[in-house]
Every structure is written in structure tokens, then in C-alpha cells.
């Protein structure tokens, strides 16, 4: 078997991965402060600071300076790229540095390393939290998450709606939900465009998303830079014999409360969203090539509760910085003390990402990109080659990165089919 099965992490042995701690869900995000940065340290000071990074959870003392607009863009109260990086947020907490040099938070540290050109192969790992600003609920947030609001679908337990055995017996709950989930009703937000900007700067090695909302593609992240680990609605097939079925026909049937049937075996057809008990797509296995090459792992908006995806975060080298942007600490970031080079920025993602974009000096560019894309003045699909004009630092030349990363991407894709790791279901 060449694929991984989608499972809920139940802490059972999975030899292919290091297991992560299962999160306990906490509904409270406490308020914390970000320590203002003072002056620009040298590279060596910066690196020595990295070894001193620890989580700081201090009370916020300054008012939050950014807010979410109705269309999911980040609005800074200061001028676009002059977001005051050191300002505290009312809802966030941050890793801070201790020691002799000026203390700084997670975003400042990672942002500075990016500006120094030290982090050129960024792997993004994302979940439903990146799309809540687009008006799509996540799965597990108490009260607002999808799993807390499934009464009308009459399922025995929330995750049954995405369980392949349950679907086989009764596809109606999923089909009712699918009518609401089908892409087309929501737009990408600032966070999606930030990730696209990573690509345009030549810094995105790959984005691994668990989301099935299609917003990554919609904002223009090219196919070869994207792994939709839990599938998507873009294609459909028989859930028993996997015979492909036209996705539009499947959608039309589901939207009209019909059940699409396989032309080969007459079993029920479903969109190729990965259900519990199903295999992950082939493309997912690019992780065996990508993660060892990453020099920054950005983890955004996920509870890291679903395997095998959750364990991906443990497959980068221990020297590689991992930045968690989320409402609460999850997975290995719940551990204290954190691993060296682990950075955590707790709080609303839109705010954290807006702040990081400000540190990088990308804010105006992202806003412009977002506006022109949303107003239809940019083609929807962009070239997979990032532009060389957008590099933030000469040492971070996107042209150079682009060549090597595209070459890497091609060799990765050609070798991936012969390099699967056997994975097992729980």
C-alpha cells in the first residue's frame, strides 16, 4: 500500500512518524505581550539570541494596532509597512528572547532571519484556522467549530460526517454538509495572499494544507507549490472502486439532493475529499523530500490532531526554526520548554500574519496583490516561477531561489512515485 490512511491521533504507535502530543482543547486564549524590539542586532547577536528563546506569557500592555476588515484583509492603524513590530496585541502571546540583547518576539526574530536571507525554503503547514477570516468555520473551536454545529445532520458523533464507513452506509449527512462546503461561496483572505507572496518572493518550498475550501488555489498559489493533503472538491470518484467521475456532474447531483452513482459499479460517488479511513493523495508523499530541505516551517491555524498530517511537523531537522501561528499552543508546541528554534505567536492569525508582513515590508504589496486579484485585474492563475523583483533582500534573491526550488520541485515530483513510505491506519 503506497498511501497513508487518514486517522485521528489516538497516540497509538505509528512507526513512520514521531508521534505528537494530542492537544487538550482550551477555549481560553490568555492575553500576552510582545516585547518591543530596540535597535537592530548583528547577525551573530541574533543567532545567539535564538538559543535563548523561551515562551513568555505576559499581560498585554498596549492596545492592538490592527484589525480585521469585513473582507478578511488586515488593516493596520499605522501606515501600511510601518506596522510597529514591537507593539503588544490584546490577544496574543509570543516567544521572546532573554539575555543581554534586546528582547524580541517570535515574529521579529523569524522576520529578521528572513530578511537576512537565512530562511529561503519555507514549508507552510496549514489548517482551518487560516480560513476563518474568510467566514468558514474551523472544525474544533468550541461553540463555533463545524463539529460543534452538526445537530441538523443527525450523525452519531461529529467526525462520522467525514468517515468513509459511515458514508458508505449513509452519504446524506456528508452531502447535506457538502452543499455548504463546496468552494465558490468564500474568498481568500490576507493570510492566503501572504502565503502566495512567500511564493512570489521565491521563498515557498511547498504549502501543505488540510483545507478543502480551495482558497489556496483561488488566491493563485500554483499547483506545484500546493499539497492538498485532505483532498478537494475539484475532482470526484467512486468511493468503492475509485473510478473517476466528472466533478461538475457530482456537484450538480449533490446540489439537487441526488446521489451521484458510479457508472462502473453503481456505488456512491463522492468528491475527492479524504475521509477518515481513506488514503491520502499521492502528492502528500512529497513531504519525504520537502521537509528535510526546509529551513523554516510555518504552522498556521491547525490543532494538529489528525494523523498522519500532524506528525509532519516533527520531520524537519531539529536545527530548523518552526514558527507556530495559532490561537493556542498545539502539538509539540504545548511542551515546555520548547525545542530550541521553536517560536510561538499566539493570537488571531490575521493579526500575526499582518504583523509579520509588516516586519518583512510586504504589507502594501500583499494588499495590492489582494485588491487587484479580487477585483479581477490580475489573471487567476499565475506562473509557478516567482518574480525576481519582489526579493526583500539582495541575499534573498528570488531568481536564484526560484531556479533551485523549481529544479528541486521537478526532481521531487519525478522521484516521488518511487519513494513512498508505507504508512498504516490506526
Question: What amino acid positions are annotated as catalytic residues?
Answer: 230
Question: Of 91-99, 139-147, 313-321, 406-414, which part binds ligand OAD (CB under 6 A)?
Answer: 139-147
How many CA atoms does the CB half-sphere of 274 hold within 13 Å? 26
Q: How far is the CB of 134 from ligand OAD (least distance, A)?
A: 10
Ranges within 109-138 binding ligand OAD (CB under 6 A): 127-129, 132-133, 138
b/e sequence 341-376, b meaning 16+ C-beta within 10 Å: bbbbbbbbbbbbbbbbbbbbbbbebbbebbeebbee
H helices of 10-157, where?
43-50, 106-115
Contact pick of 73, 89, 109, 210 for ligand OAD (by CB under 6 A): 210
Contact pick of 32, 140, 206, 363 for ligand OAD (by CB under 6 A): 140
H helices of 230-320, where?
247-255, 287-293
Closer by beta carbon to ligand OAD, 206 or else 327: 327
Contact (Cβ atoms closer than 8 angstroms) between residue 201 and residue 392 = yes
Closer by beta carbon to ligand OAD, 313 or else 330: 330
Closer by beta carbon to ligand OAD, 22 or else 85: 22
- The contact pattern for ligand OAD, residues 307-336, with x = CB under 6 A and - = no contact, is -------------------xxx-x------
How distant, in Å, are the alpha carbons of 151, 160, 165, 207, 309 from that of 157?
10, 6, 13, 30, 22
Q: How far is the CB of 244 from ligand OAD (least distance, A)?
A: 20
Residue 326: CB atoms within 10 A of its CB come to 25
Distance CA 86, CA 97 (A): 13
Q: How far is the CB of 329 from ligand OAD (least distance, A)?
A: 9
3-class secondary-structure state, position 287: helix
Closer by beta carbon to ligand OAD, 160 or else 294: 160
b/e sequence 82-100, b meaning 16+ C-beta within 10 Å: ebbbbbbbbbbbbbbbeee
Q: How far is the CB of 129 from ligand OAD (least distance, A)?
A: 3
Q: Is 92 in the site for ligand OAD (CB under 6 A)?
A: no
Q: ω into residue 308 within 30 of 0, thus cis?
A: yes
H helices of 83-189, where?
106-115, 164-169, 172-181
Q: Is 286 in the site for ligand OAD (CB under 6 A)?
A: no
Contact pick of 301, 321, 331, 332 for ligand OAD (by CB under 6 A): 301
Total residues contacting ligand OAD by CB under 6 A comes to 27
* Helix or strand holding residue 194 (H, E): helix 190-200
Distance CA 152, CA 177 (A): 10
C-alpha cell at 182: 463546496
Q: How far is the CB of 327 from ligand OAD (least distance, A)?
A: 4
Q: Is 139 in the site for ligand OAD (CB under 6 A)?
A: yes
Q: Is 272 in the site for ligand OAD (CB under 6 A)?
A: no
Q: Is 306 in the site for ligand OAD (CB under 6 A)?
A: yes
Q: How far is the CB of 328 from ligand OAD (least distance, A)?
A: 5
- Residues within the interface to ligand OAD (CB under 6 A): 6, 127-129, 132-133, 138-141, 145, 159, 162, 210, 230, 274, 301-303, 305-306, 326-328, 330, 348-349
Amino acid at each position: 500500500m503506497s498511501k497513508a490512511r487518514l486517522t485521528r491521533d489516538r497516540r497509538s504507535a505509528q512507526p513512520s512518524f514521531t508521534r505528537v502530543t494530542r492537544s487538550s482543547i482550551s477555549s481560553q486564549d490568555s492575553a500576552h505581550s510582545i516585547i518591543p524590539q530596540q535597535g537592530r542586532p548583528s547577525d551573530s547577536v541574533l543567532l545567539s539570541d535564538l538559543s535563548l528563546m523561551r515562551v513568555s506569557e505576559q499581560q498585554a500592555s498596549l492596545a492592538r494596532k490592527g484589525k480585521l476588515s469585513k473582507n478578511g484583509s488586515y488593516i493596520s492603524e499605522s501606515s501600511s509597512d510601518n506596522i510597529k513590530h514591537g507593539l503588544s496585541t490584546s490577544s496574543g502571546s509570543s516567544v521572546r528572547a532573554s539575555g543581554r540583547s534586546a528582547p524580541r518576539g517570535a515574529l521579529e526574530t523569524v522576520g529578521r532571519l528572513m530578511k537576512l536571507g537565512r530562511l529561503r525554503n519555507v514549508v507552510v503547514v496549514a489548517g482551518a484556522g487560516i480560513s476563518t477570516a474568510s467566514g468558514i468555520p474551523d472544525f474544533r473551536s468550541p461553540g463555533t467549530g463545524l463539529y460543534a454545529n452538526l445537530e441538523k445532520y443527525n450523525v452519531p458523533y461529529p467526525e462520522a460526517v467525514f468517515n468513509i464507513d459511515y458514508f458508505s452506509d449513509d452519504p446524506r449527512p456528508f452531502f447535506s454538509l457538502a452543499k455548504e462546503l463546496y468552494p465558490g461561496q468564500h474568498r481568500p483572505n490576507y493570510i492566503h495572499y501572504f502565503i502566495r507572496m512567500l511564493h512570489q518572493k521565491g521563498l515557498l518550498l511547498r504549502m501543505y494544507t488540510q483545507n478543502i475550501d480551495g482558497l489556496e488555489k483561488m488566491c493563485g498559489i500554483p499547483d506545484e507549490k500546493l499539497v492538498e493533503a485532505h483532498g478537494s472538491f475539484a475532482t470526484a470518484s467512486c468511493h468503492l472502486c475509485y473510478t473517476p467521475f466528472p466533478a461538475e456532474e457530482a456537484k450538480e447531483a449533490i446540489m439537487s439532493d441526488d446521489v451521484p452513482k458510479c457508472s462502473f459499479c453503481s456505488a456512491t460517488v463522492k468528491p475527492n475529499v479524504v475521509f477518515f479511513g481513506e488514503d491520502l493523495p499521492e502528492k502528500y508523499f512529497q513531504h519525504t523530500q520537502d521537509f528535510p530541505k526546509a529551513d523554516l516551517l510555518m504552522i498556521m491555524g491547525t490543532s494538529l490532531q489528525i494523523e498522519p498530517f500532524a506528525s509532519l511537523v516533527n520531520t524537519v531537522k531539529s536545527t530548523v526554526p518552526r514558527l507556530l501561528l495559532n490561537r493556542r499552543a498545539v502539538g509539540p508546541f504545548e511542551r515546555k520548554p520548547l525545542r530550541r528554534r521553536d517560536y510561538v505567536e499566539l493570537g488571531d492569525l490575521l493579526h500575526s500574519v499582518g504583523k509579520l508582513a509588516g516586519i518583512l515590508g510586504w504589507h502594501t504589496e500583499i494588499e495590492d496583490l489582494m485588491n487587484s486579484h479580487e477585483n479581477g485585474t490580475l489573471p487567476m492563475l499565475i506562473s509557478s516561477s516567482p518574480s525576481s523583483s519582489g526579493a526583500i533582500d539582495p541575499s534573498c534573491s528570488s531568481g536564484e531561489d526560484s531556479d533551485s526550488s523549481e529544479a528541486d520541485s521537478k526532481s521531487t515530483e519525478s522521484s516521488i512515485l518511487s519513494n513512498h513510505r508505507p504508512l498504516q491506519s490506526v
